Homo-oligomer: A and B are copies of this chain.
Amino acid sequence: MITVIGFDADDTLWHNESIFDANHTRFCALLSRYHDAKTVETTLYATELRNLELYGYGVKGFALSAIECAIELTQGRISGDELREIVVFAKEMLRHPVELLDGVRETIEALAPAFRLFVITKGDLGHQERKLAESGLTRFFERREIVSEKDPATYRRILEAGGVQPGEFAMVGNSMKSDILPVLELGAHGIHVPYSLTWQGERAAAPEGGGSRYHSLSSIHDLPGLIRRLNAGTS
């Protein structure tokens, strides 16, 4: 029986990658007199990956990587005036209003009376806290976990702290790598709800063969029905 449902936040509860994507485009435009967009994108991604362990996830690390990338791609010739644009991007991203995905509010409200709900997200601590507060969903989540990495050890710690057995836990999220594969490894259910865009660093193949604890939905609207069928043993 599934009694506890965990939700990823960025691109599961609210739009996020679309905001990063728009700022990647602005970044390419900023550097367009130096390099073509493909070179800029490739170098930016390489810079982000190289810095991920040091910076972690979130807007501030992205901005520092973008600045480093811009300096590298122009061999230091880019001016402070041009780099100012990246600081402006970063602040706009941090101030961007929270836009819930279609169906999220109704789904959370429908599940809340019958299930313990957790939100488990990575990124900048303060930014994620502000987005959660602005979402209006805080009161539905018994546990709100902002973590630096979503690996099996992190999920195990959260389940233990909540007194939850893996078999009674389902994690819902858009990232196969961060939301699905680590919880399947623990023996929990993973419910993949893809977002229209996935950052390269979050891409992973679906689990081989799938297995009875892996599920995929095209919309979060279908989540209550899936949980009902799983708990009735008819799915």
Interface residues of A (CB under 8 A from B): 54-56, 60-61, 63-64, 67-68, 70-71, 74, 76-81, 83-84, 87, 90-91, 94-95, 124-127, 129, 146-149
Contact = CB atoms under 8 A, between A and B. Distances in A.
Nearest to A61: B60
Quickly give the copy total for this chain.
Answer: 2
A81 B87 contact: no
B90 A56 contact: no
A124 B60 CA distance: 10
A124 B80 contact: no
Contact of A83 (B83, B125, B127): B83
Contact of A64 (B63, B78, B79, B146): B63
A53 to B, nearest CB: 8
A89 B192 CA distance: 40
Contact of A56 (B64, B91, B124): B124
* The 8 nearest A-B residue pairs measured at CB: A76-B81, A56-B126, A78-B80, A60-B60, A126-B148, A71-B80, A76-B80, A125-B125
A77 B76 contact: no
Nearest to A70: B80
A122 to B, nearest CB: 8
Contacts of A74: 80
Contacts of A91: 54
